Homo-oligomer: A and B are copies of this chain.
């Protein structure tokens, strides 16, 4: 059955990149945003399975590489934000790494772009739920992967459309940056989004934790700790 999944590499303090770069685009590689981004994705760029999809040589055939390979394999279609699609269009070249239909959430209508190796980019202008539905129909029973960035992932989570989230928790504290689970999730007071971890794979470089998203729930007062009633004052 098709699941809507997402995954993201984050620092131990929850950032997927350094603070947003506000200067010239050409200076991005030297920015603090990029420095943070490359730190949290280092485990990916070291992984053979990722490098092979990018057409790069080398890399490690590691446990983490298998996690990457598995993610690519499980995805029958992708949903992507406009920033990521725009930024990737040139570097991904004629044969992008997705090898599956990609549905780009955007406000600007554009004709579908068909690339080699099975990748196509379809521009969806009527919202995230529509993009997810179109991706679901195109996924042929495989999963719909929300490919990012962080803003899109939060929107999908907030809208209750996400079935599974895999976080790759990298053992670094950045202190500041672009936070994945930011405050714009529209949670009410004493309300949470509950998940259940279903798989944990750990290496010295990164801890991969896969969660099923159970949905929103009220935080009810829980006095199991008291026993004697001391704390239930």
Contacts and interface: CB of A to CB of B under 8 A. Distances in A.
A23 interface: no
A183 B58 CA distance: 37
Given A35-B219, A187-B174, A190-B18, A56 B227 contact: yes
A173 interface: yes
A194 interface: yes
A131 B57 CA distance: 52
Interface residues of A, number: 68
Contacts of A108: none
A3 interface: no
Contact of A221 (B11, B30, B41, B169): B30
B221 A56 contact: no
Contacts of A196: 171, 204
Contacts of A93: 230
A173 B195 contact: yes
Given A207-B200, A233-B29, A35 B221 contact: yes
Nearest to A36: B219
A32 B190 contact: yes
Contact of A171 (B57, B187, B190, B211): B211
Contacts of A44: 225
A173 B181 CA distance: 8
B227 A58 contact: yes
Interface of A: 11-14, 18, 26, 29-30, 32, 34-36, 38-39, 41-42, 44-46, 51, 54-58, 91, 93, 157, 167, 169, 171-176, 181, 183, 185, 187, 189-197, 200, 202, 204, 207, 209, 211, 219-222, 224-228, 230-233
